[in-house]
């Protein structure tokens, strides 16, 4: 009798405890994963997340093993791709999607995809006003596409699901760079295959320079005090292979790995000069939301959002970035002695190391004025549209619909300014504000955030954005002008959600 009672109590504790944990996991976004909301569990897609379907402590253990106590490697710096056209106002590039292999873990070879190499791709660097032509050759055994994430170009050059590149063929988009200096990126966008292709290594940075930003005296020595950081989480199986067979948890939350890589290296270190160093940070993960900070709690400055420099630097002690978002940061290493190290952490977990050299370099001050961000004028909007993100698992939808290549969901007029109201309905099943945060991405333009639930956006979101994290139960209003014609996508940038159909299509026509 006693035994039965004890067993019953244990069972009740387990059920209640497990249920509470489940709720916390699913509502992770509601409490804390919005910038400026603070508190609560920071991350619907965080470390503890692996625990939902079992293996939580294993995941944490693996993260320690794979990600930080293993062998340290120098941070790979992606090379800048050679411009094949000598004309200073024209730029021509060749990118090849290809298969490769990498030794991420010592003695284990991982099958990968890459552009012009084994993993990730080179940096495409252009300036405002350039006429650009890029030959994208597909040497994979399967179709792919290449989307310029954040770039303002016509639909036919955008590289969405309609711009499929068959094996052995070349796609050659041509466009003019009309937007300001920015840290953008490129990645495949084939229907139902984006998650897998990005996961295997297809991604790279696309940098735009302009005259105004060059005058600013920002740290600009590439790879020295202007350092790209592409952060991705991966799961390597016992043979060192990337696993991309999605379980229920992966379909629901997006694929989360237990190992963080930066520029394709686990546990990397980079030497930094004694001075101000600029980092171009891309969350290139399929789904994970990071909360970045420095291990010693030192504050840093954010100077750029997804689509370019902000009006002024914003001081932060931590930064949340969801999948596909970028931030340009400046960290001041001038007070450190030669050889001192500072770590970059995600929710307190270190994953890379900065080693300060004795060399002093770069500007002494961060400019107080960076770029002009236009005043938001709601009265300019010709139209307001609603986008409601809801559902879970494979049933994720936008406005109750899943992606259909043959259906145009929204029709816009060229050069119109529009307000888009993006709502995350949450899951509903467990009451209000339950569910997970979704990063909403719109193609073909850059947005400014008007408000989040009626409140002005936090200072570090007052700049051009193409990917906007929306918490469960939240409504974010954004404004944009659509100056490029053609067919474009809007979708959740948790790639497993996108691949499940959490995507729609809009046209922009005269
Ligand atoms: Cu989503």
Q: How far is 236 from 144, CA to CA, in rounded Å?
A: 23
Tell me, in angstroms, the distance from the centre of ligand 1 to residue 34's CA.
Answer: 15
Q: How far is the CA of 502 from the centre of ligand 1 (A)?
A: 7
Question: The domain 378-509: what is its CATH number?
Answer: 2.60.40.420
Residue 33 Cα, ligand 1 centroid: separation in angstroms? 14
Fold of the domain built from segment(s) 73-214: Immunoglobulin-like (2.60.40)
* 392 alpha carbon – ligand 1 mean position (Å): 8
Residue 287 CA, ligand 1 centroid: distance in Å: 8
Say if CB 347 and CB 193 are below 8 A apart.
no
Q: Do residues 391 and 397 lie in contact, with contact meaning Cβ atoms separated by under 8 Å?
A: yes
Neighbours of 404 (CB within 10 A): 12
Closest CA to 204 of 155, 151, 266: 151
| Cα 251 to ligand 1 centre (Å) | 10
**CA separation (Å) from 472 to 17, 62, 103, 216, 325?**
23, 30, 39, 39, 18
According to DSSP, residue 199 is labeled H
End-to-end CA distance of the chain: 79
Q: What distance in angstroms lies between residue 252's CA and the mean position of ligand 1's atoms?
A: 9
Residues carrying CATH 2.60.40.420, the chain: 73-214, 378-509
Non-local (6+) Cβ contacts of 77 within 8 A are 222, 223, 227, 228, 263
Are residues 479 and 442 in contact, defined by beta-carbon separation less than 8 angstroms?
no
Distance CA 223, CA 284 (A): 19
Relative to beta strand 319-321, strand 300-305 is unpaired
How close is the Cα of 66 to the center of ligand 1, in Å? Answer: 27
435 CA distance to ligand 1 middle (Å): 10
In this prediction the pTM is 0.88
Which residues are CB-contacts of 453 (< 8 A; sequence separation ≥ 6)? 474, 475, 476
224 in Cβ contact with 354 (< 8 Å): no
Digit-by-digit pLDDT tens for the chain (510 residues) are 444 444 444 433 333 333 333 333 333 333 333 333 333 333 333 333 332 333 333 333 344 444 444 689 999 999 999 999 999 999 999 999 999 999 999 889 999 999 999 999 999 999 999 999 999 999 999 999 999 999 999 999 999 999 999 999 999 999 999 999 999 999 999 999 999 999 999 999 999 999 999 999 999 999 999 999 999 999 999 899 998 999 999 999 999 999 999 999 999 999 999 999 999 999 999 999 999 999 999 999 999 999 999 999 999 999 999 999 999 999 999 999 999 999 999 999 999 999 999 899 999 999 999 999 998 889 999 999 999 999 988 999 999 999 999 999 999 999 999 999 999 998 655 545 568 999 999 999 999 999 999 999 999 999 999 999 999 999 999 999 999 999 999 999 999 999 999 999 999 999
| 36 in Cβ contact with 451 (< 8 Å) | no
């Amino acid at each position: 009798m006693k035994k039965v009672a004890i067993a019953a109590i244990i069972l009740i504790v387990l059920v209640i405890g497990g249920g509470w944990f489940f709720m916390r996991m699913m509502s992770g976004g509601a409490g804390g994963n919005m910038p400026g909301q603070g508190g609560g569990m920071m991350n619907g897609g965080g470390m503890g997340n692996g625990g939902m379907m079992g293996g939580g402590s294993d995941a944490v253990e693996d993260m320690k093993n794979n990600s930080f106590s293993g062998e340290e490697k120098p941070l790979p710096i992606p090379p800048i791709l050679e411009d094949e056209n000598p004309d200073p106002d024209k730029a021509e590039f060749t990118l090849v999607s290809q298969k490769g292999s990498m030794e991420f873990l010592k003695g284990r070879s991982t099958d990968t995809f890459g552009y012009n190499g084994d993993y990730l791709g080179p940096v495409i660097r252009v300036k405002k006003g350039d006429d650009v032509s890029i030959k994208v050759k597909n040497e994979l055994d399967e179709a792919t596409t290449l989307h310029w994430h954040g770039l303002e170009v016509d639909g036919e050059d955008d590289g969405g699901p309609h711009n499929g590149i068959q094996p052995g063929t070349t796609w050659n988009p041509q466009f003019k760079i009309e937007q300001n200096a920015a840290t953008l990126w490129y990645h495949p966008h084939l229907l139902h295959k984006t998650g897998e292709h990005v996961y295997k290594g297809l991604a790279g940075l696309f940098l735009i320079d302009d005259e105004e930003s060059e005058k600013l005296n920002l740290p600009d020595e590439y790879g020295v005090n202007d350092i790209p950081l592409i952060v991705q989480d991966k799961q390597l199986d016992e043979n060192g292979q990337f696993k991309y067979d999605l379980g229920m948890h992966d379909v629901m939350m997006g694929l989360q790995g237990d190992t963080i890589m930066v520029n394709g290296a686990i546990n990397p270190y980079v030497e930094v000069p004694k001075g101000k160093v600029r980092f171009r940070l891309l969350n290139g993960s399929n789904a994970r939301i990071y909360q970045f900070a420095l291990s010693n709690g030192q504050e840093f400055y954010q100077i750029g959002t997804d689509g370019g420099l902000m009006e002024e630097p914003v001081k932060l002690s931590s930064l949340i970035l969801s999948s596909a978002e970028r931030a340009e940061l400046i960290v001041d290493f001038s007070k450190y002695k030669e050889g001192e190290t500072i770590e970059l952490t995600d929710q307190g977990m270190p994953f890379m190391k900065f080693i300060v050299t004795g060399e002093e370099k770069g500007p002494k001050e961060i400019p107080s004025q960076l770029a002009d961000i236009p005043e938001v004028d709601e009265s300019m909007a010709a139209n307001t549209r609603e986008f409601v993100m809801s559902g879970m698992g494979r049933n994720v939808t936008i406005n109750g619909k899943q992606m259909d290549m043959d259906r145009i969901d929204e029709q816009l007029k060229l050069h119109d300014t529009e307000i888009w109201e993006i709502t995350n309905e949450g899951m509903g099943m467990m009451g209000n504000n339950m569910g997970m945060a979704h990063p909403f991405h719109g193609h073909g333009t850059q947005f400014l955030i008007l408000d989040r639930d009626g409140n002005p956006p936090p200072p570090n979101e007052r700049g051009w954005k193409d990917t906007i994290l929306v918490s469960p139960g939240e409504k974010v209003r954004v404004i944009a002008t659509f100056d490029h014609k053609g067919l474009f996508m809007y979708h959740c940038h948790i790639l497993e959600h996108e691949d499940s159909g959490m995507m729609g299509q809009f046209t922009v026509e005269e």
